[in-house]
Chain A
Amino acid sequence: MSTPAGQAAVPAYTPRKRRNAELLLIVLAVVISIGAYCAVGIGVSGEVPSFAYRLGGAIVVVALVTHLLVRRFAPYADPVLLPIVITLNGLGLAMIYRIDLARLDKSGPDANTFASQQLIWTALGIVGFVAVLLVVRDHRRLQSMTYTFGLVALVLLVLPLLPVIGQNINGARIWIRLGPMGLQPGEFAKIALAIFFAGYLVVKRDALALAGRRILGVDLPRGRDLGPILAAWLVSLGVLVFQRDLGSSLLFFGLFVVLLYVATERPGWLVVGGALFLGGAYFAFLTFGHVQVRVNGWLDPFADRDRNFQIIQGLYGMAHGGLLGRGLGQGSPDITPYSYSDFIAASMGEELGLAGLMAILLMYGLIVERGLRIALICRDGFGKLLAAGLAVSIALQVFVVVGGVTRLIPLTGLTTPFLSYGGSSILANWAIVALLLRISDQSRRPAPAVVQLDEEDATQVVKLR
């Protein structure tokens, strides 16, 4: 990619492993995770939960093993990503546990609880993280499977619409049921799409950037180059229409438009993409009842208190929290529907306050910053686009869901990465972190040591021709 700033940054870069800095941050992350659990127990019942020691031990072991594996298999990987993700995951677990306690308190021992399941999903997510780190030894291999991943993404998107395994939950048809497990294939489609977009754009970006007419001061691309963006638009509209999933639709389309912009450096694509998005959104608003409900709930939630109960409760929750929060275990986040998944940001806002929520948002900001930084220092175009795509997908997802909860944009159902309850989300996001670490390991690694090139080696180079 011809980003002068990024290119200029490469030679000045000194390869450093920073693994000890990572270890230090991981220790802090573990302290926060266990501390959050204990604080919840103290806040709710006045004592440290009985299984805190076992849980704490498990967290320490898991964090250490993960760290050692990264040290061994991705020694130059970014030092900040893993600790931040562990912290977010730990905070999410503590909050889900806190909401479980409130439910148990309210409706007796048969209440639905989620913390133990989330713990299992987190363990699986870390196993997946390690597996991706071990299997993908060089991210450039993924480029050769560009269209395979495109197909995988399409299949994953269509799966919930199939008759037997597809399931309609809360009006959105985004679930599949495999035996005892429910999965949201859309979360995994996100990764496959990012790989597909990156692989496609790295090949096509010259045609997209250079050929085209200039109309009204905006460089418009050629008609035939518009094909893929129109296809992406149609697929996202299809997700919106058939699966009734606003959030994913916005996420996929936004991801593609931003990657187009990154690949071609043409702001014209943002104009085209923005216009298509506005058109699609207005069309959806006119046509679909559920979109109208969301938009009305955004503009004036108090006009229909029953229908917008969730968003109103979320707002009151955050107001209740104020600047410093009620303290873990001392608010009442459980009265908001889905406070453990879609509305976990509101629960955090209530118990940790603005100060805590800002810290969490900053952590997401740091993840995205690291992702874009990895894209900048990465040496190959595919890695740049993939890292940028993964970072942007996390940024968009956090923006869409937190923006929805805080009533900045209409509420759409998406999970908050690492915080929310949800197996697919945890698995997919840990895989994203593994990919980011792999790319950063490749790009921060010093140039491979080459044995002194003398005349014989020179002849070998000539032979290669």
Chain B
Amino acid sequence: MSDITLTLIKLGFLAVLWLFVLSAVSVIRSDIFGARVETGKAGRPPKVAKAKTPRTPRARKPARGKPRRLQITQGPNAGQSVPVSDQPIILGRGTDAAIRLDDDYVSTRHARFATNGEDWFVEDLGSTNGTYLGSQRITTPVPIALGTEVRLGKTVVELQK
């Protein structure tokens, strides 16, 4: 083998090695440089796993059984409510909460209510005293229905029409 071939092999190998590293980085690009801005055709709608019902367009009227507001039924803030939309709602004592709960047993960012367009879920955000459905402390996002009582500290909230 001539020197020039060996040098070419050497450089080629290094090039492929770096090509690999760079393509690995490009695969996770959105994680490193932030999510891609979804524009027009390029944007794919978020896939929902095995959604059995055909997806209907977003801008439909609230169907039957669709919650319209998140109502606080017990606790220091009883009576207050927040209208629900597609956006997730955070409850807690912090300033970014949809309703600032005046409850000593509630954490700054306590729980999040979010929807996938069909169902509503409640998720505990690592609160100190936990979020309860009945006597069950929740650890993962749990689907909730209209009227299901969710307890955060001394506060009880539910989705209402």
> A residues engaging B (CB < 8 A)?
1-2, 4, 7, 11-12, 14-16, 18, 21-22, 24-25, 28-29, 31-32, 35-36, 39, 42-43, 46, 79-80, 83-84, 87, 206, 324-328, 330, 352-353, 355-356, 359, 362-363, 366, 369-370, 373, 379-381, 445-455, 457-458, 461-462, 464-465
Contacts and interface: CB of A to CB of B under 8 A. Distances in A.
B27 A25 contact: yes
B24 A25 contact: yes
Contact of B47 (A22, A355, A446): A446
A366 B107 CA distance: 34
Contact of A461 (B20, B118, B148): B148
A46 B52 contact: no
Interface of B: 1, 6-7, 9-11, 13-14, 16-21, 23-25, 27-28, 31-32, 35, 46-53, 65, 88, 107-109, 112, 114, 116, 118-119, 121, 123, 125-126, 128, 133-136, 139-141, 143-148
Given A327-B10, A448-B49, A461 B16 contact: no
Residues of A contacting B: mostly: helix
Nearest to B2: A46
B27 A21 contact: yes
B142 to A, nearest CB: 9
Contacts of A453: 65, 119, 143-146
Contact of A15 (B18, B49, B112): B49
Given A324-B11, A446-B47, A465-B135, A79 B27 contact: yes
A447 B121 contact: yes
Contacts, number: 158
Contact of A39 (B9, B20, B119): B9
Contacts of A16: 47
B23 A25 contact: yes
Given A7-B126, A25-B23, A462-B148, 10 more contacts: A206-B128, A356-B14, A359-B17, A359-B21, A373-B31, A379-B140, A447-B49, A452-B118, A461-B148, A465-B135
A446 B7 contact: no
B147 A43 contact: no
A18 B21 CA distance: 17
A80 B28 CA distance: 8
Contacts of A15: 46-47, 49
A28 B26 CA distance: 14
Nearest to B1: A46
Contacts of A381: 126
A39 B14 CA distance: 11
Contacts of A445: 49
Contacts of A379: 123, 140-141
A326 B52 CA distance: 59
